[in-house]
Structure 1
Amino acid sequence: MTKLSTTPRLEDAPCLTEAECLLIDPRADQDALFDQAESRLEAASNLMFTLCQMDTPGASADARDLANVAIASRFLLADSLDLIMVARKVAKRQQAPAKKGGAHG
């Protein structure tokens, strides 16, 4: 009898929020996923800060600049959401065996 593998496969990587998605390795641990989400959130925050600074005297942003910032922010935020959702799934998957073992032991 062949035992089926319960290890996540890269081919099963989720794309949860966008058609243009970040490929997330389902074998990654939750800390790595949260770290990546945090770095993308920080990058989006930095883009917004830069945009705010363009309102100062002597600085200017045209419609193309604004569109580029908006598109980049959209991708960073979508990636962050995908990473957070997968990290939560990983955390639940890691907690499930602990609950079963604690109930029987």
Structure 2
Amino acid sequence: MTLLDALKYIKTTQLDKVIIETVSLVLKNIVERVWKVPWKVVNILEEIWKLMQRKTLVISHIFREWNKLADYLANLALEKGTIQVNCFQELESQGNRIVTSDKLVVPYLRIRQCRK
């Protein structure tokens, strides 16, 4: 539903070339028709595909760590209900730490053990 809302918003703008980043590989692969569409969301996907035809869109998968601030804000909204943040100074301390880490270009490392 968030992707559908984003596409509806994009439709109202003058933006022609848009990159949408998602932490959901499932969403990306379903929208790109790589994976089969679950029957429960066929109607939503049909509307998404229709909106995507009018713009040059790229859907990109990113790891959650690379979108840490958005993940933090989404979880905060789930916890507190509706939130509104107009500037970074209004964020709680955890949000400020994330912004500061991003400003300092502190790398996020994803380390996995190799399987033999």
Larger C-alpha radius of gyration, 1 or 2? Answer: 1
Regarding TM over 0.5, the answer is no
Structure with greater contact order relative to length (CA < 8 Å, sep ≥ 6):
1
Higher relative strand content: 2
| TM score, norm. by length of structure 2 | 0.23
Higher relative helix content: 1
